[in-house]
Amino acid sequence: MLKIVLTIAVIAGVYYFLIKKPQVTQKRRERADAEAKKPKKGEEIMVECDKCGTYISTHEAIIKSGKYYCSKECAGVK
Ligand SMILES: [Zn+2]
């Protein structure tokens, strides 16, 4: 009788891991995806202005002919 109970417990345990685990990894993956989509602070790449040497983030930088500039004045754009 004890053997049967143990067998059922083992099978239940195996089933639990087989069924539950993929869901957990799926949730974890979804969470990772959601976090990846969020803009993270401190992930901006700092670039040097080609003219004056000021460091600006790529979001703020003005790109002109493949070079980064801190301002329109440095980029020579008006
Ligand atoms: Zn500049």
**Closest C-alpha to 49, from 24, 76, 25, 28:** 76
In angstroms, what is the span from residue 70 Cα to ligand 1's centroid?
Answer: 4
Quick: pLDDT tens for 41-71.
556 789 999 999 999 998 889 999 999 999 9
Quick: pLDDT tens for 24-41.
677 888 888 877 776 665
In angstroms, what is the span from residue 41 Cα to ligand 1's centroid?
Answer: 23
In angstroms, what is the span from residue 36 Cα to ligand 1's centroid?
Answer: 31
In angstroms, what is the span from residue 60 Cα to ligand 1's centroid?
Answer: 11
Question: What is the percent of the chain where pLDDT is above 70?
Answer: 85
In angstroms, what is the span from residue 48 Cα to ligand 1's centroid?
Answer: 8
- At residue 76, does pLDDT exceed 70? yes
State the burial class of residue 50 (Cβ atoms within 10 Å of its Cβ: 0-12, 13-18, 19+): middle
